Amino acid sequence: MSLRVVVVGGVALGPKAACRIKRVAPDAQVTLVDASKLISYGGCGIPYYVSGDVSEHQQLQETSFHMVRDEEFFKSCKDFTVHTETRALSIDRKAKTVLVQAQDGTQSTLPYDKLVLGTGSTPRQLPIPGRELDNVFTVATLDEAIRIKEQVAGGKVSSAVIVGAGFIGLEMAESFADMWGIQTTVVEVADQIMPGFLSPVMATIAHKHLEEHDVTVHTSEMVQSIEGENGKVTRVHTTKRTIDADLVILAVGVIPNDTLAREAGLLCSDRGGIIVSKTMQTSDPDIYAGGDCVLTENMVTGKLGYYPLGSLANRQGRIIGTNVAGGRETFDGALGSFIIKLFDYAFAGTGLSLPVALREGFDAFSTHVIMSDHSHFYPDRDMVSLEIVVEHHTGRVLGLQGACQNGDSVKGRVDALAAILKFRPTLRDVSNMEMAYAPPFGSAMDVLNAAANAAENILNGRAVPVQPLEFAKLWENRVQENLLCIDTREWGNAEPFATRYPEFWKNIPQGQIRNRLDEIPRDKKIVLLCNTGGRSYESQVILRHAGFMEPVNLQGGMGFIKQIGFDPSQDD
Amino acid sequence: MSLRVVVVGGVALGPKAACRIKRVAPDAQVTLVDASKLISYGGCGIPYYVSGDVSEHQQLQETSFHMVRDEEFFKSCKDFTVHTETRALSIDRKAKTVLVQAQDGTQSTLPYDKLVLGTGSTPRQLPIPGRELDNVFTVATLDEAIRIKEQVAGGKVSSAVIVGAGFIGLEMAESFADMWGIQTTVVEVADQIMPGFLSPVMATIAHKHLEEHDVTVHTSEMVQSIEGENGKVTRVHTTKRTIDADLVILAVGVIPNDTLAREAGLLCSDRGGIIVSKTMQTSDPDIYAGGDCVLTENMVTGKLGYYPLGSLANRQGRIIGTNVAGGRETFDGALGSFIIKLFDYAFAGTGLSLPVALREGFDAFSTHVIMSDHSHFYPDRDMVSLEIVVEHHTGRVLGLQGACQNGDSVKGRVDALAAILKFRPTLRDVSNMEMAYAPPFGSAMDVLNAAANAAENILNGRAVPVQPLEFAKLWENRVQENLLCIDTREWGNAEPFATRYPEFWKNIPQGQIRNRLDEIPRDKKIVLLCNTGGRSYESQVILRHAGFMEPVNLQGGMGFIKQIGFDPSQDD
C-alpha cells in the first residue's frame, strides 16, 4: 500500500513539504488540512498588499507563473488533496489518525503513516481592555489583511496606532504612512525599536528615519487600554499619553501553535514550541514538525530558539518532504537572518546583535564602519553602515547588522557573512573574504572586509574605539568629561563644529597631526574623529606612538553620527 | 635602529602594504618606488574614466575623502617616502639593497631589512605587424588611459577594434559604444567571450547582449596584422576579415612582472609568476611579494594559478604589511571571484566554471536556474540566471556563475557562495543556506537555494536535464532526433511554438499532464519545458513514474533559452 501522509497547516511549511513528498515519492497519498479558507500565501507579503505595492491579495497566493495555489491547483498540479476550513482537533498516535472538523461541523478521521505538523503561530494577545473593538487587528492571516486594506483603501482611516515595533509592526507603519497618508504612531514597550534584532545604534538610525517619514515612534511606553465608540476603536491609552486612532494593529510578536502536538503528548518546550530533531522529527518519529510551531537550534549559540521566519519554514518543509518520502536530510539550525525595508532604507542582520551576544554570555564587542557599496569613484553608489559583533580573545565573529539605501547591497554583505557563520569564523575569515569586484558593484576592499579589519585592530589593541552612542553621551557631558574632539578632516568639514565649540572641537587634518602634536593638550580626554573613522584611526596610531594616554577613535566617524541624528553643530 | 622597508610598485599592493606597515610599526622607515609618474590609482576604474562615468583621472587616485594619493599625501598622511619615475633595476640579496634609477638616469642604492615586491603585470604582447602604430593601446597604465580618453573625447575616433574579449576588453567596448557612439568591434581568438571565466551558456547570453548594444563580436578569429597610414592605425586584418579602425586596444591578458625577482634568484614559476608562501614570503624570507606578480593557490583546486585581480592585491597587501611589521597572517588562496558590467547586465562568478572544472579533472556537471531576485509578487524585481557547478558522486559545489540586470543582486548570490567555497561545501550547504528575506529583497527560498535544489535532484537521479545549449542543438536536428517538446505552460505561452511546429511542439499544461499521458508518444525523444524548468520538472516526475523512457527537462526553461537568443518560433 502506498504511503499515507497527513499534513496539518497550509501556509508555508505544509504545502512545501507536501509538494516535495509527491516529487520524491509520487505514489504517496497526501492530504493537507488547514483551518482557513485562504492557504499557501506569502505571509511576509501582507504589508505590501496593504500598501498597494501588491494590488490583489491573490498575487500573494500565486506561483511565479500566475496560478493561484488553491485546492484545485494542488490537486491537478501537485496531486494531493487539500481540505480548507478544516481544523485538526486531535491526534491519536496509537491508531495513527488525525481527527478533523470541517466548517459545517462534520468530523472525520484521517489515517496516516507519517504526519506533518505545520501549525504555524498565533499573534501574542495583549491582555488589555478594548482589544475586541472593531478595527483592532493583529495581521495574523490574509483574511485579516483584506479587511485592513478595505478600511485604509476606503479612506476610512485617518489615524492608526501600531502596538509593537517589530517587523510586521514597522512594515505596516510604513505602509500606512507612505501609501495612504495615515497619521501613524508606533508604540513599543522596549527602549528601542526592533528589540532583539537591531542593536541600539542601528535602532536609533531606523527610528530617526521613521520619524523623518512622519511615523511617530514612542519607545519605553506601554499600551494600557483601547477606547472605542459604538464598538469601534477611537483612542489608545498608553502609560504616557492618549492617541487618537481609527485603526489599531497589535503586533507584539507571535507564539507557536503547539497545542495539537502538546495534547498528543509530543515533547514541547515549557515556554512554547515543539521540540524536533535535526531530521525535523518530533518525539514521535512518525510525526514531523517545522516552521513557526517548532523551536530551532541557533547555529551561533547552539541553544534552542524561536525563529518564526518564512525563509526557514520553506527550507524545513523541503527537508521534511525528503525525509517523509524515505530520504534522510538534516537541518543545521537557524541564524535568524533578517532584512526589513523602512522607507528609503533597508536594515538587515544575521547571527547575534551585540545586546543578544552579551545576554547569551559572550564576552563580545562590536565595531562600526561606513563605506560606499560601490567604488567611491563610481557615480552610482550608496553608503553601507555595518556593525560587526565579535568575541574578545578568540576573534570569533558572532553576527553582523547593516543599513543601506540599497537593500540588495546590504543583503549581499549580510548573506555572505551568514553563509559562513555555521563554520565558526574568526575575523581573519571575514577580513580575507574574497568578494566579486568591479567599480560599479563594489570596492577592491569591501565594506565587510573593512568591518573585520576594524574589529581586528581593536582586538589587537591597535585601535581604541568609542562607539557612536557612547560618543553622543560623552559630548553631552563634555564639560565634566574634560573632552576635546580632534577633527582630523579638512577645514571645510570641521569648520561648523570648530567655530561653534572652540574649547571642545579642534581641527587638525590628519596629514598635519605629526607636526602639530604640541597643540594637543595631554590632560584632556581626546576623541579623534573624521567622516568614517579611517583617518582618525591613523591619527590615533600617531598620538599613541607619541605617548598620549588613550586617545579614543570615533568608530564609523561623523558618517555614523549623522545617521543617528546627533549633530553637535546644532544641539544647543 | 628602526626597521627599513623598501616597497617596489605603487599601484595597488605596494601602497596598501606600506600603509599597513606604518600603522602596525609606526617607527618603520618605508620607501616606495614606482617607475610611473601616476601611482596608487584604481586600475579597475580605467574603463569608467574612459567612458566618462568618472570625469577626471585624478578621481581614480583619490581617497574616499577626495585627497589625491600622491607623494605628498603618502609623506604627510602616511609617513613614508615615495619616489615616482624611479625604476628598481636589481636586488642584491646578500647586501640587502635595491638598486634604483631615477628618471634623470641617476642610480642609487636603497638598503632594506624587508623588501616588498608589488611589481604588477604587463599586458601580453601580440607579435603582429603594426602594433607599434599610433592609436594602438594596451590600457596598461593610467597615462595610457588619459591618452585614449583624449582621442575618444576629442571626437577623433569613429571606429575601434578591441582585440581580446576579457574583462578590460569588454569594459572598454562598452565604454566606446555606449558613451562615445564609436563603431566597436571585439575580436576574440577563443570560441566564446570571456573564456576561462564564463561558461559557454553565460558567454552566449553576454555575447547576445553586447550585439544588442551595437558591439560587434567575432569569436574564433585571430588578428593577424594592423595596418596604418602616416604612422596611425587605419585597419585591422583578422583571419576572416578586414575592419576599419581609428583606434585599437590590445587586451589579450597580462603577464606577471617577475623579472626583478627572477634575476635576484627568487623562486618563480617556469610559466611566469613569483612563488610565495601563505605568509606571502618569497623563497627569500626577507622578501615579500603579492598582487599581479605572484601566483596564488586556487582554493577549489588546490593548484597554483594566476589571479591578477585588484581585490586580491589589496587583501594580500594588508597581510604583507602585517607580516613585515612583525605579525603573522596567512592568505588562504584565491577563488577568482569576478563581476563585470556589460550595458544593462552584470555577469559574475566564483570558483570553477564547468569547462574549467572539467579541464581540472573534476567529474562535474552544472545546472541552470532562473528566478526573480525579489519576491515574484513584488513589483520591483529582476530575473537572476544562475549556473551552479557540482562534482558528481560527492555533491561538492565547485563554482557558480550568474547574470542579472541588478548587479548587486547577482553579486550577493555569488559572494555568498564564494564565502563558503574554502570550506568545501556540498549541495546541502547551499540548499539550506539561510538568506535574509523580505519580499522587496528576496524570496523565502532564494534563487541560490533553488540552484542547489535543482542540482541535488539531478545528482539523485530524480531530474534528467538537458542544458540550454544542448537543447538548441537538439532543436536544430529535431527531425533526425525524432524530437517532441512538451510545453507544460498554459496555452498563452505555448501557442506561438505549438501552432508553428505542431509535429515537434505540443502543449500540455502541467496540471493536465496526469490525465493526458496517452497523448504522449512513447517512441519520441521527449523534452519537457516551461518558463524556468520548475513545472516541467514536476511533469518529468509524472512521466517517469508512468514509465516513459528518459524524458528530459530543459534546465532554466524558456527563460534561459530566450536569454541566449534562441527562439524556435522565429528561427526559420
Pairs of residues, one from chain A and one from chain B, whose beta carbons lie less than 8 Å apart: 301
Residues of B within 8 A of A435 (CB-CB) are: 311, 337, 411, 415, 418
* Cell 585614449, located at residue: B148
- Cβ A331 vs Cβ A295: under 8 Å: no
CA distance A527 to chain B (A): 18
> Is A140 in a helix, a strand, or coil?
coil
Q: Are residues B229 and B309 in the same domain?
A: no
Q: Which helix (H) or strand (E) holds B102?
A: strand B97-102
User: What cell was used for B418?
Assistant: 564564494
- Is position B147 within any domain? yes
Residues of B within 8 A of A439 (CB-CB) are: 42, 44-45, 48
- Is position A569 within any domain? no
| Nearest CA-CA partner of A458 in A372, A389, A559 | A389
CATH of the domain at B556: 3.40.250.10
CATH of the domain at A444: 3.50.50.60
Q: What type of residue sits at position A387?
A: E
Task: Mark which of A405, A430, A459 sits at the end of a domain.
Answer: A459
Whole-number Å distance between alpha carbons of A324 and A321:
5
Q: Which residues of chain A register pLDDT less than 70?
A: 571-572
Closest residue to A377, CB basis, from B54, B329, B440: B54
Q: Are residues B89 and B52 in the same domain?
A: yes
On whether any CB of chain B is under 8 Å from the CB of A547, the answer is: no
Burial A303-340 (b: 16+ CB within 10 A, else e): ebbbbbbbbbbbbbbbbbbbbbbeeebebbbbbbbbbb
- Does residue B236 register a pLDDT over 80? yes
* Cell 567599480, located at residue: A439
Q: Which helix (H) or strand (E) holds A8?
A: strand A4-8
Q: Are residues A170 and A269 in the same domain?
A: no
Residue-wise pLDDT for B91-126, tens only, equals 999 999 999 999 999 999 999 999 999 999 999 999
**How far are the Cα atoms of A104, A292, A494, B447, B562 from residue A123, in angstroms, in the given order?**
26, 11, 50, 30, 45
| DSSP class of B2 | P
CA distance B521 to chain A (A): 21
- The number of folded domains in chain B is 4
- Cβ A374 vs Cβ A405: under 8 Å: no
Task: Mark which of A403, A438, A459 sits at the end of a domain.
Answer: A459
Closest residue to A64, CB basis, from B372, B431, B446: B372
Closest residue to B462, CB basis, from A24, A338, A442: A24
Q: Are residues B158 and B232 in the same domain?
A: yes
Average the pLDDT over B217-236 and give the result.
Answer: 97
CA distance A244 to chain B (A): 31
Q: Do A76 and B512 touch (CB under 8 A)?
A: yes
| DSSP class of B140 | -
Which pTM value belongs to this model?
A: 0.96
Percent helix, strand and coil across chain B, each to the nearest 5: 30, 25, 40
> Is A220 in a helix, a strand, or coil?
coil
Residues of B within 8 A of A329 (CB-CB) are: 428
* Cell 540548499, located at residue: B431
> With helix as H, strand as E and coil as C, how does A488-519 read?
CCCHHHHHHHHHHCCCCEEECCHHHHHHHHHH
Q: Are residues A292 and A434 in the same domain?
A: no
On whether any CB of chain A is under 8 Å from the CB of B412, the answer is: yes
CA distance B565 to chain A (A): 21
Task: Mark which of A222, A252, A282 sits at the end of a domain.
Answer: A252
- Cβ B291 vs Cβ B312: under 8 Å: yes
Q: What type of residue sits at position A361?
A: G
* Cell 545549449, located at residue: B469
Q: Do B436 and A415 touch (CB under 8 A)?
A: yes
On whether any CB of chain A is under 8 Å from the CB of B103, the answer is: no
Q: Residue B518, Cβ neighbours under 10 Å: how many?
A: 8
- Is position B389 within any domain? yes
Whole-number Å distance between alpha carbons of B158 and B454:
47
- Cβ A437 vs Cβ B339: under 8 Å: yes
CA distance A315 to chain B (A): 6
Whole-number Å distance between alpha carbons of B323 and B319:
6
Q: Do B378 and A511 touch (CB under 8 A)?
A: no
Closest residue to B420, CB basis, from A48, A350, A419: A419
Q: Do B339 and A436 touch (CB under 8 A)?
A: yes
Strand ranges (E), B343-395: 345-351, 364-372, 383-391
Q: Do B48 and A439 touch (CB under 8 A)?
A: yes
On whether any CB of chain B is under 8 Å from the CB of A73, the answer is: yes
Whole-number Å distance between alpha carbons of B353 and A406:
29
| Nearest CA-CA partner of A176 in A205, A149, A203, A195 | A149
- Is position A334 within any domain? no
On whether any CB of chain B is under 8 Å from the CB of A571, the answer is: no
Residues of B within 8 A of A335 (CB-CB) are: 434
Whole-number Å distance between alpha carbons of A168 and B446:
21
- Is position A526 within any domain? yes
Residues of A within 8 A of B512 (CB-CB) are: 76
- Is position B337 within any domain? no
Residue-wise pLDDT for B480-507, tens only, equals 999 999 999 999 999 999 999 999 999 9
Q: Are strands A364-372 and A345-351 parallel, antiparallel or unpaired?
A: unpaired
Q: Are residues B259 and B246 in the same domain?
A: no
Residue-wise pLDDT for A477-486, tens only, equals 999 999 999 9
Q: Are residues A88 and A193 in the same domain?
A: no
Q: Are residues A548 and A447 in the same domain?
A: no
Closest residue to A26, CB basis, from B171, B411, B542: B542
- Cβ B282 vs Cβ B274: under 8 Å: yes
CA distance B266 to chain A (A): 26
Q: Are residues A76 and A142 in the same domain?
A: no
Percent helix, strand and coil across chain A, each to the nearest 5: 35, 25, 40
Residue-wise pLDDT for B366-377, tens only, equals 999 999 999 999
Q: Do B436 and A406 touch (CB under 8 A)?
A: no
Closest residue to B535, CB basis, from A12, A65, A348: A65
Average the pLDDT over B167-182 and give the result.
Answer: 94
Q: Residue B101, Cβ neighbours under 10 Å: how many?
A: 17
Closest residue to A337, CB basis, from B22, B63, B434: B434
On whether any CB of chain B is under 8 Å from the CB of A227, the answer is: no
Residues of A within 8 A of B413 (CB-CB) are: 415
Q: Are residues A110 and A146 in the same domain?
A: no
Q: Do B435 and A418 touch (CB under 8 A)?
A: yes
Domain that holds residue B309: 4-120+255-324
Q: Are residues B107 and B152 in the same domain?
A: no
Mean pLDDT of chain B: 95
Is the complex ipTM more than 0.90? yes
Which chain A residue shows the shortest CA-CA distance from B344?
A440
User: What cell was used for A218?
Assistant: 514612542
User: What cell was used for B104?
Assistant: 634623470
- Among residues 298-337 of chain B, which lie with CB inside 8 Å of chain A? 309-315, 318-319, 329, 331-332, 334-335, 337
- Is position A330 within any domain? no
Of B65, B453, B544, which to mutate for an interface test with A (greatest number of A Cβ within 10 Å)?
A: B65
- Cβ A435 vs Cβ B418: under 8 Å: yes
- Cβ A335 vs Cβ A298: under 8 Å: yes
β-sheet with B107-111: strand ranges across: B86-92, B97-102, B107-111
On whether any CB of chain A is under 8 Å from the CB of B54, the answer is: yes
On whether any CB of chain A is under 8 Å from the CB of B450, the answer is: no
- Cα atoms in the 13 Å half-sphere on the side-chain side of B181: 3
Whole-number Å distance between alpha carbons of B60 and B40:
8
Residues of A within 8 A of B434 (CB-CB) are: 311-312, 315, 334-335, 337, 350, 418
Whole-number Å distance between alpha carbons of B111 and B4:
7
In this prediction, residue B571 has a pLDDT band, given cuts at 50, 70 and 90, of: low
Whole-number Å distance between alpha carbons of A447 and A445:
7
For residue B549, what pLDDT is reported? 83
Q: Do B378 and A339 touch (CB under 8 A)?
A: no
User: What cell was used for A172?
Assistant: 505596516
Q: Do B371 and A64 touch (CB under 8 A)?
A: yes
Q: Are residues A141 and A223 in the same domain?
A: yes
On whether any CB of chain A is under 8 Å from the CB of B539, the answer is: no
| Nearest CA-CA partner of B486 in B525, B449, B429 | B525
- Is position A350 within any domain? yes
Which chain A residue shows the shortest CA-CA distance from B400?
A436
